[in-house]
Amino acid sequence: MSDTAVQHRSPDRLSERAHGPGRGPGPFTHTAVMAARALRISSRNIDALITSLALPIMMMLIFVYFFGGAIDTGTDYDSYVMYVVPGVLLLSAGFGAATTATAVSEDMKGGIIDRFRSLDVGGTPVLAGHVAASTVRNLCSTALVFGVALLIGFRPAASWSGWLVVGAVLVAYIVALSWISAAIGLLARTPEAASGFTFFMSFLPYPSSAFVPTENMPDWLHGFADHQPITPAIESLRGLLLGQDVGSTPWIALAWAAGMLALAIGASGTLFRIRTR
């Protein structure tokens, strides 16, 4: 058989047989396949998986039992656990999303991206697959953290609508932080550097109202803590979970998440094109 004949039976012709003339797997199919791949890789990296699940729980237990009695939250809550759990949920989201940067950087370094591009898989499905996998991992971690919080005395009083808004805020921030982490993975030249860069994202809940009221902070830090993106998310979660009036705070939190998401997606697209020239 001639080379020309072999070429006419190459992937395009096979794709036509499987999907019809001129049709192939779409971006949603590519994203689903990439997400399944990322989840399989995560399941094999047991050490990182255990760390991402256990670290937020350990942080919550440390703050509740080591420091809780010494921290004045200025509230009427029955115990410090009622104050700290919403912050730990956002802290968990940051820790879980940070692993996306390392995964993306490993893909860029290992050469697998060139193989994907030869299969006509674009950069957006690859990155969206990592983000989707990060979202699934983070939701599992959030459920685990919440379960431990219930065991140590957290008693939410949210309405059904409140629970829906809590879920929307959490998912919005998980997706936004995961896309930011994906952009960091493209920016970093090595997985080690990517892991180091995400420290700043994981650190952001600390200068916020996650563990202490912002009024107790120095004046120069107080202003930053009140106007950074994590604080309105934490205040929304805390108020909704405790059945309190939150006003427009959830909308502010969602607006921050939408802005971060748009910026991260745009930066990821630009960085991917630069890295794959």
For range 188-207, the mean pLDDT: 82
pLDDT over 70 at 7, yes or no? no
- Check the CA dihedral 18-19-20-22 and report its sign: negative
d(CA 224, CA 221): 5
The mean pLDDT value for 51-61 works out to 81
C-alpha distance from residue 230 to each of 48, 235, 277 (Å) = 24, 9, 35
Q: What is the pLDDT of residue 22?
A: 46
Which pLDDT score is estimated for 57? 85
pLDDT in the model for residue 262: 96
Chain centroid to CA 195: how far? 14
The model's pTM is 0.83
User: Looking at 22-36, 192-206, 228-242, which range is the least confident one?
Assistant: 22-36
Over its C-alpha atoms, the chain yields an Rg (Å, rounded) of: 22
How far apart, in Å, are the Cα atoms of 228 and each of 98, 252, 253, 260, 277? 19, 11, 10, 12, 35
The whole-angstrom separation of Cα 152 and Cα 262 is 38
Instruction: Label residue 176 by pLDDT band (50, 70, 90).
Output: very high
| Neighbour count for residue 169 (Cβ, 10 Å) | 25
Write the single-letter amino acid at 202: S
- CB 232 within 8 Å of CB 252: yes
Q: How far is CA 241 from CA 82, 135, 144, 145, 247, in A?
A: 9, 21, 17, 15, 14
Token representation of residue 178: 């995961």
**What number is the average pLDDT over the span 197-223?**
84
Q: Give the separation between CA 40 and CA 141, rounded to whole angstroms.
A: 17
Query: How many CA within 13 A on the CB side of residue 36?
Result: 6
Highest averaged pLDDT of the listed ranges 103-112, 124-133, 261-270: 261-270
- For helices 160-187 and 249-275, the axis angle rounded to 10 degrees is 20
Q: What is the mean pLDDT of the chain?
A: 82
**Predicted pLDDT at 192:** 82
Reading the block at residue 228, the tokens are 């950074």
Closest C-alpha to 137, from 106, 98, 168: 98
Smallest Cα–Cα separation from 128: which of 225, 26, 45?
A: 26
pLDDT of the residue at 75? 54
Confidence of residue 19 (pLDDT cuts 50, 70, 90): very low
Strand, coil or helix: what is 190? Answer: coil
Q: How many residues does the chain have?
A: 277
Q: How far apart are CA 174 and CA 187, in angstroms?
A: 20
Question: Quick one: pLDDT at residue 24?
Answer: 54
Residues 6+ apart with CB under 8 A from 191: 102, 105, 106, 109
